[in-house]
Amino acid sequence: MCGIAGLIHRGKSSNVGSELQQMLQALKHRGPDSTGYALYAENDGKNFIMRFKVGENVGEGSTSVNEDASVYDERKKLVDHMLKELGANIVKDEKLTPYSYRYEMQFDKDLMEFSKKIESINGVEILSIGKSLELIKDLGDAAAVSERYGLGDVKGTHAIGHARMATESGVDIKSAHPFWGYPFSDVSVVHNGQLTNYWNNRRVLENKGMRFMSECDSELIAVYLAEKMRNGATLEEGMKDSLTGLDGVFTYFVATKDSLGMAKDTMAAKPLVLYESDDLVAMGSEEIAIRSILPQEIDTYDPFDGEVKVWRI
Amino acid sequence: MANLKTSEKKTKAQSMGLHTEVLTGKTQQKFFNPDEAENFYYWGTYDVDFNKRTDLDVKNLDCKEANRKIDDLMSQGYGTIVIKNPQGKHSLGVGILNKLNLIFEGSLGYFGVGSIDGPTVRINGRVGWSCAENMMAGKVVIEKNAGSCFGAAIRGGDLICKGSVGARTGIDQKGGTIIIGGDAGAFTGFMMQRGRIIILGDVGINLGDSMYDGTIYVGGKIGSFGSDAVESPMTKSDMDWLKRKLKVAEIGENFDMSKMTKVVAGKKLWNYDALEPTEKKGAI
């Protein structure tokens, strides 16, 4: 089933970490396996923020293979070594959990080559790279993940998130949403639905040099849009193209440094409720997600089939 | 010679308050005995007084608790119940089987007022997916927009949305009337079997796809017709009926009915060809 939620404040920052947590917690019944946040935070914009994992959460409910914690440390050392080789200057590094890290770094070369090198280390996956994007995903509900990573105080302009019910792939971080729009900085995607031409599209995109880290069909949307943008399409053009290029049922959100978009398949098979005002857009799989941050009486609506919308901060 | 075995059965059945016919073919008739009226009632119904009015704040109640409270109030004879702070909660006001004035001051989530048989409901907000699913009778008025699968499988009553609705409105509809003041999404009237849908605005693609029967009236533009849905000429009786219905619904009374498009089933689906005329009704 899965639940997705997103919000964008236009013209100001707000406590998006806490707001998104409330929205996703209201959707817990739609996806109890894992929760993910893509927060566009108030960073200084000078350095890249790279969030990466060197292993999986093997806690309750996980389908991942247990590994010795010493393996994580080894992988982290290899990442540090690789960063030095690539010429990245680490400004700040934080160990968030035994298996995940947040680095602030200075880097001015090709992100695709950079990512390929880092991810060539066995067991290492970059969750996101961006100057404002903070992508966090882990097993557990929204409150548990928020507490584990200290997201309650994160301020920013916009955010998207996902409460996942694992269906076609494992209960693990690599299959959890949001997906980073590799190799573009600050691009993230969440999806509710099923894509039925996943393998056909994946083969084509891999032949074009794009990378997949999981077997989760939703990852295809991020890669599909990234490939379109790599070839010069705008975000909106890529999203409109996806309505015919992707087969199946879907409602998805995509966020960039300064925008938030939604797309709904041509059969409108997956739910979405939308609230739009001059200073705030909030949307979610169910109205209760929006009500969790806007309890007063408001006007909401369901976007129609095949609808694509993009809002800017 | 009398058939003693049959007579014994008959006497025994009659003494139990039943009058049992000797079985012929596949039917068996049972006659209601007025002396046993207290044993026959419509479960879950109450005698209510419309002038007896109360408010119910459901802000801190989950849907089960809220529905149980509504049931309790009906059992106390309240005929007008105003629900405060529904705040998009799912499955509120479901399974109400008697006359009742039910007013929601706010919006409902999914499956609002489903499986109802008789109440008059006014929702001063929006409703989520599958509002009034399986409604048997009554009247439901939504002041704002509605989500997808609006009026799925309704069998009777009037279901009115003054705003726009999502996809698959009236899917599997088996009777009653659905009236939309705004636009409707894709697959409106998908597999509908009977009843009527009126949309004053535009409608999306695949209108009336695979409909078996029933009628859809559209006031605006049609995205595309679905499989086996065809246009049919508007008649005077159509226009008279629409005028009456829209007046009762307090919506679009002055709408120019002659500009509406009437859509019905082409009845070219395989099952119509494969069945004898007398079997077609059974297939529905």
CB-CB neighbors (< 8 A) of B164 in chain A: 301
pLDDT digits (tens, 9 = 90+) for B122-131: 999 999 999 9
* Pair (B215, B170) in one structural domain: yes
Give the CATH number, domain containing residue A34: 3.60.20.10
Q: How confident is the model at residue B2 (pLDDT cuts 50, 70, 90)?
A: very low
Residue A213, pLDDT score: 82
* The pLDDT of residue B64: 95
pLDDT of residue B81: 98
Examine residue B11 and state whether it is found in any structural domain, yes or no. Answer: yes
| HEC sequence for B86-148 | CCCCCCCCCCCCCCCEEEEECCCCCCCCCCCEEEEEEECCCECCCCCCCCCEEEEEECCCECC
pLDDT band at B203 (very low <50, low <70, confident <90, very high): very high
Tell me if B67 is assigned to some domain.
yes
Range of the domain at A135: 3-312
In this structure, of A52-61, A74-83, A192-201, B89-98, the range with the lowest mean pLDDT score is: A52-61
> Same structural domain for residues B10 and B111?
no
Residue A208 has pLDDT above 50, yes or no: yes
User: Above 90 in pLDDT, residue B164?
Assistant: yes
- Shortest CA distance to B141 belongs to which of B122, B126, B155? B122
Nearest CB partner across the interface for B144, out of A269, A299, A306 = A299
* pLDDT at A8 > cutoff 60: yes
Instruction: Give residue-wise pLDDT tens across range A246-297.
Output: 999 999 999 999 999 999 999 889 999 999 999 999 999 999 999 999 988 8
> Which is the catalytic residue, given A2, A50, A254, A272?
A2
Does some domain include residue B44? no
Q: What is the mean pLDDT of chain B?
A: 87
Domain count, chain A: 1
Give the number of domains in chain B. Answer: 2
ipTM of model over 0.90: no
CB atoms within 10 A of CB A232: 8
For residues A44 and A41, give the distance between their C-alpha atoms in angstroms, rounded to a whole number: 9
Residue B156: CB partners within 8 Å, gap ≥ 6?
B135, B136, B137, B175, B176
DSSP 8-state assignment for residue B275: S
The beta strands (E) that lie in chain B are given as 49-57, 78-84, 101-105, 117-123, 137-142, 158-161, 174-180, 194-199, 215-218, 229-232, 261-265
Same domain, residue pair B57 and B191: yes
Check whether residue B113 and residue B16 sit in a common domain. Answer: no
Which amino acid is residue A18, in one-letter code?
S
B216 with B180, same domain?
Answer: yes
Query: Is A216 tagged catalytic?
Result: no
Q: Are B33 and B106 members of one domain?
A: no
pLDDT per position as a tens digit, B140-163 = 999 999 999 999 999 999 999 999
What's the gap in Å between the CA of B176 and the closest CA on chain A? Answer: 24
Q: In what order do the strands lie in the sheet containing A100-106?
A: A89-97, A100-106, A48-53, A125-130
Query: Tens digits of per-residue pLDDT, B231-256?
Result: 999 999 999 999 999 998 888 878 88
CB contact under 8 A, A305 and B186: yes
Whether the full predicted model's pTM is greater than 0.90, yes or no, is no
Q: Which domain holds residue B10?
A: 4-39
The radius of gyration of chain B's CA atoms, rounded to the nearest angstrom, is: 23
Query: Same domain for B22 and B145?
Result: no
- Residue B1 is predicted with a pLDDT of 44
- Using the beta-carbon criterion (under 8 Å), do B90 and A301 form an inter-chain contact? no
Nearest to A178 by CA among A77, A39, A302: A39
Q: Would residue B228 count as lying in a domain?
A: yes
